[in-house]
């Protein structure tokens, strides 16, 4: 269908489908559409917009009410921190795709990558866990446990700051590539203490931000819990933010 022939309602439906498809691979979408088409054929009718919408929505992970609320709070914390700390542009926040929850962020490439920027990035990475602790009183194990977890990502940033980015107070010019991964933290107690201190500073920044924006955190989490997916524009509207559009690199935070 050409752009000139596309009706406003069709454009809106396409936008809605695009939002539902966020976080899925091309193969995932192809499978969902194929299955929707097969169901339509069995019903002896043409494939409709609603068939694809229902198929995309049904493909989400099923969660209990308690887990859904916890994940909503977690992802809302990430979305607020990435936005208000000025780290990047949130493209979408979703529940039940790929993992329990997901925030896709278009990280700004025009910012100077200073130590302050690094600390804010860690704070945004830890903000989901912090939000859970503030609202619910405890954090899910999903914040850690794997190389792609929030704790692993934040720890990796702090470790790089101390060993390879030149931000260490002790021997800042000494480049030490962490080829053994996090094993070095088990072997070097002083290094582990310095890395942990950076993580605590970042956690404090996240806590202070979310405490200050508590009403927006609850509003965003409630909206996400109800809808299951939010566009970045919806997030920014709720936060009262206008965007100047200087994103660069897509990154994901997952629970």
pLDDT at site 247: 46
pLDDT at site 175: 81
Q: Do residues 167 and 204 share a domain?
A: yes
Q: Do residues 108 and 197 share a domain?
A: yes
Query: Rounded to whole angstroms, how far apart are CA atoms 129 and 110?
Result: 27
- Does a structural domain hold residue 247? yes
Q: Do residues 21 and 123 share a domain?
A: no
Closest by CA position to 132, among listed 151, 108, 114: 151
Q: What is the CATH number of the domain that holds 96?
A: 1.20.58.760
Enclosing H/E stretch for 109: none
- Does a structural domain hold residue 1? no
Q: Do residues 168 and 232 share a domain?
A: yes
Query: Rounded to whole angstroms, how far apart are CA atoms 74 and 140?
Result: 9
- Does a structural domain hold residue 180? yes
Q: Do residues 22 and 111 share a domain?
A: no
pLDDT at site 243: 60
Q: Do residues 164 and 54 share a domain?
A: no
Q: Do residues 95 and 171 share a domain?
A: yes
Q: Do residues 54 and 76 share a domain?
A: no
**Which structural domain, as residue segments, surrounds residue 199?**
65-254
Q: Do residues 90 and 33 share a domain?
A: no
Q: Do residues 18 and 112 share a domain?
A: no
Query: Rounded to whole angstroms, how far apart are CA atoms 220 and 217?
Result: 5
Quote helix, strand, coil % in the chain, to nearest 5: 60, 10, 30
What residue ranges of the chain have pLDDT lower than 70? 1-25, 49, 51-61, 97-99, 144, 178-181, 243-255
- Does a structural domain hold residue 2? no
pLDDT at site 121: 97
Q: Do residues 46 and 165 share a domain?
A: no
Kindly report the pTM of this predicted structure: 0.77
Q: Do residues 104 and 47 share a domain?
A: no
Number of domains in the chain: 2
| Main-chain dihedrals φ then ψ at residue 148, nearest 5 degrees | -95, 5
- Does a structural domain hold residue 3? no
């Amino acid at each position: 269908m050409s752009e000139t022939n596309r009706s406003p309602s069709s454009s809106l439906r396409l936008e809605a489908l695009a939002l539902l498809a966020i976080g899925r691979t091309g193969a995932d979408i192809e499978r969902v559409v194929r299955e929707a088409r097969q169901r339509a054929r069995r019903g002896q009718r043409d494939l409709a917009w609603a068939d694809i919408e229902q198929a995309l929505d049904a493909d989400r992970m099923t969660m209990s009410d308690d887990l859904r609320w916890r994940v909503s709070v977690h992802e809302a914390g990430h979305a607020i921190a990435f936005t208000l700390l000025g780290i990047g542009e949130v493209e979408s926040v979703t529940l039940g795709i790929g993992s329990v929850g997901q925030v896709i962020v278009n990280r700004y490439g025009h910012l100077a990558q200073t130590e302050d920027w690094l600390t804010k990035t860690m704070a945004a990475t830890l903000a989901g866990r912090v939000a859970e602790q503030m609202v619910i009183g405890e954090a899910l194990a999903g914040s850690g446990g794997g190389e792609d977890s929030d704790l692993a990502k934040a720890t990796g940033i702090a470790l790089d700051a101390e060993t390879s980015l030149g931000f260490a107070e002790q021997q800042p010019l000494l480049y030490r590539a962490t080829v053994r991964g996090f094993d070095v933290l088990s072997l070097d107690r002083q290094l582990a203490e310095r890395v942990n201190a950076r993580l605590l500073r970042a956690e404090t920044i996240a806590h202070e931000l979310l405490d200050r924006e508590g009403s927006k955190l609850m509003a965003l989490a409630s909206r996400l819990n109800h809808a299951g997916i939010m566009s970045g524009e919806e997030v920014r509207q709720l936060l009262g933010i206008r965007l100047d559009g200087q994103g660069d690199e897509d990154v994901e935070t997952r629970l």
